[in-house]
Amino acid sequence: MTDFRQDVIVEQATFGAGCFWRAEAAFRSLPGVLDSRVGFARSVRGESELIEVVQVDFDSKVISYSRLIEHFWTLHDPTSFDRQGADVGVKYRSALFFGTAQQAQLALVAKQRLDASGQLGKPVATVIVPLGEFQLADEDQQRYLEKHGASSCSI
């Protein structure tokens, strides 16, 4: 999605990084991130299970999609496939959901670069898939950590 408003170019990115509350709070702290929402995503390939995600609206004139991906790598363990800390299962999968061919290319390059760096000691397990379905989580889940004055998902 691209929306043009008075010198602002709004784009959208969707990330699965384990607990969506923590990911949402972390992305909202970045300059250029205009809004976010948490929910559940499924790729267009029709996987049956939904993944916890944060969907981010950002001004691409202020922050790039590539910079968001760099931040994404720091929010979780991208070498872990279906587990983030104590959270286990498909819904906690490390995933980059792309909406455009350009996002797909940038995500693939970022993953290859991180793998080639060897800094993680293990291969990156993050899946890079086209966004199919997005289901918005209930309102009480939105900005959950902010509403509850917490800094982590273990509250």
pLDDT at 6: 67
Q: Is residue 145 part of a domain?
A: no
**What would the pLDDT profile of 2-43 be if each residue is shown by its tens digit?**
555 568 889 999 999 998 988 999 999 999 999 999 999 988
| Position 93 in a domain | yes
Residue 50 lies in a domain: yes
52 is a domain residue: yes
Our answer to whether residue 19 is catalytic in this structure is yes
pTM of the model: 0.89
Out of 11, 14, 17, 19, the active site residue is 19
- Domain, as residue range, for 76: 8-136
The rounded distance, in Å, linking the Cα atoms of 17 and 20 is 7
pLDDT at 56 over 90: yes
Given a cut of 60, whether residue 104 has pLDDT beyond it is: yes
DSSP state of 133: E
**150 assigned to some structural domain:** no
* Residue at 1 is within a domain: no
Could you report the per-residue pLDDT of 138-152, keeping only the tens digit for each? Answer: 998 898 788 877 766
CATH value at residue 42: 3.30.1060.10
Higher per-residue pLDDT: 87 or 74: 74
- Does 19 reside within a domain? yes
42: in domain = yes
Question: How many domains are contained in the chain?
Answer: 1
The three-state DSSP-derived secondary structure of 38-52 is: EEEEEECCCCCCCEE
